[in-house]
Structure 1
Amino acid sequence: MSDRFYIHDEEEESSIRFVSFMGDNDERFDLALISTERYYGKQVVLDIRTQRFALLGVDDLEEQGLLEDAYQIDEETAEELRAFLLEAIVEY
């Protein structure tokens, strides 16, 4: 048996929304939005196809280049994702 030092080891209720949609530029999005009280109103937004994720709140969506960098997408695709997330991200 190992002497593992845990920094956190907690269980918590969460809500997961799975959504797939096509953007105007024929880009497909397959997302999982994970809501929990742990992240102070932010959600874990997981792109299932690319296996990239970011911890996002509405305020983060205003940050220039954040979605492009986090999901490795171009500006046009990021605008489509941003428009969806502005509707979808809610405080838990």
Structure 2
Amino acid sequence: MSERFYLYDDTEETRTRFVSFMGESQRFDLAIITSSRYYGKKLVLDVLSNRFAIIGTDDLEEPGYLEHAYQISEEEAGELRSFLYEVI
């Protein structure tokens, strides 16, 4: 067996907020992880869909970003975007 080559192997303290809310057409169960690793952005996991994205305010303003990352409709992305603007 060859020796494993690590690119990095770090451990750090994080803060995680678990939040669930119901939009007009979809429920969102999110884990929002704050870490020093992502240059001020948050790691946002959608527990129901098993999808995640690293999100900052600049990403929220990018057309189609949430729709693509979470495979949701424009309407659902609008609801998620509205919530994320409050917490990011």
Q: The TM-score by the shorter chain falls in which range?
A: over 0.9
Three-state SS of the structure 2 residue aligned to 1:39 is: coil
Q: Which has the higher contact order (CA 8 A, sep 6+)?
A: 1
Task: Quote how far apart the aligned CAs of 1:27 are.
Answer: 1.3
Q: What's the TM-score once normalised by structure 1's chain length? A: 0.92
Letter in 2 for 1:53: F
Q: How far, CA to CA, are the matches of 1:51 and 1:19 in structure 2?
A: 15
Which residue is 1:5 aligned to?
5
Q: How far, CA to CA, are the matches of 1:16 and 1:80 in structure 2?
A: 21
Which residue is 1:19 aligned to?
19
Within-5 A mapping of 1:1-92: 2-23=2-23, 25-89=24-88
The structure 1 segments of at least 4 consecutive aligned residues displaced by more than 2 Å after TM superposition are: none
Q: How far, CA to CA, are the matches of 1:36 and 1:2 in structure 2?
A: 33
The aligned length equals 88
**Cα deviation 1:71-91 (Å, max 9, x = unaligned):** 0000000000000000011xx
Letter in 2 for 1:40: Y
Three-state SS of the structure 1 residue aligned to 2:37 is: helix
Q: Is the 8 A contact 2:20 2:27 kept in 1?
A: yes
Q: What's the TM-score once normalised by structure 2's chain length? A: 0.96
Q: Is the 8 A contact 2:34 2:41 kept in 1?
A: yes
Q: State the identity %.
A: 62
Letter in 1 for 2:7: I
Q: Which structure 2 segments of 5+ residues have no match?
A: none
**Cα deviation 1:5-38 (Å, max 9, x = unaligned):** 0001010110000000011x13100000011001
